[in-house]
Copies of this chain bind each other. A is one copy, B any other.
Amino acid sequence: MTKIVNDNQNKESSRVELFSDGVFAIAITLLVLELIQILHPESESKLLTTFLNHWQSFLAFFIGFTTILVCWINHHVAFESIHRVDTKFLWVNGFLLFIVTLTPFSTAVMAEYLQKESTIAVAIFGFNYILISFAANGICSYAYSHHLIQEEERVNYNSYRLIYRYAIYYTILAFFICFISTWISICLYLLLFALFAAPKELAIRLEKIRMKKKFKSTRKETEQERDSTNT
A118-154 CB mask vs B (1 if < 8 Å, else 0) is 0011001000000000000000000000000000000
Q: Which one of B8, B29, B46, B47 lies within 8 Å of A26 (CB-CB)?
A: B29
**Which residues of chain B are within 8 angstroms of A33 by Cβ–Cβ distance?**
30, 33
A172 contacts the other chain (Cβ, under 8 Å)? no
Determine if A104 and B21 form an interchain contact, defined as CB atoms under 8 angstroms apart: no
Interface residues in A, total, Cβ within 8 A: 64
A17 contacts the other chain (Cβ, under 8 Å)? yes
Cα–Cα, bound, A26→B18 (Å): 12
A31-B101, A108-B39 known; A121 vs B47 contact (CB < 8 Å): yes
A96-115 CB mask vs B (1 if < 8 Å, else 0) is 01100110110011001100
A69-B94, A101-B65 known; A23 vs B28 contact (CB < 8 Å): yes
A170-212 CB mask vs B (1 if < 8 Å, else 0) is 0000000000000000000000000001111100000000000
Q: Looking across the interface, which residue of chain B has its beta carbon closest to that of A44?
A: B116
Q: Looking across the interface, which residue of chain B has its beta carbon closest to that of A152?
A: B4
A117 contacts the other chain (Cβ, under 8 Å)? yes
In whole Å, how far is A13's beta carbon from the nearest beta carbon of chain B? 10
Residue of A11, A29, A31, A47 with highest tally of chain B CB at under 10 A? A29
A25-B26, A46-B117, A120-B47 known; A105 vs B19 contact (CB < 8 Å): no
**Which residues of chain B are within 8 angstroms of A16 by Cβ–Cβ distance?**
76
Cα–Cα, bound, A11→B14 (Å): 9
Determine if B46 and A73 form an interchain contact, defined as CB atoms under 8 angstroms apart: no
**Which residues of chain B are within 8 angstroms of A11 by Cβ–Cβ distance?**
14, 80
- Name 28 A/B residue pairs within 8 A (Cβ), A-sorted: A8-B80, A12-B76, A15-B17, A15-B21, A15-B76, A19-B21, A19-B24, A19-B76, A22-B24, A22-B26, A25-B26, A26-B26, A27-B32, A28-B97, A29-B101, A31-B101, A35-B105, A36-B108, A47-B116, A47-B117, A47-B120, A47-B124, A69-B97, A73-B90, A87-B197, A87-B199, A87-B200, A88-B198
Given contacts A8-B80, A35-B102, list 14 more A-B pairs with CB under 8 A.
A18-B21, A19-B21, A22-B24, A28-B97, A30-B33, A36-B105, A37-B40, A47-B113, A65-B101, A69-B98, A73-B90, A73-B91, A87-B198, A87-B199
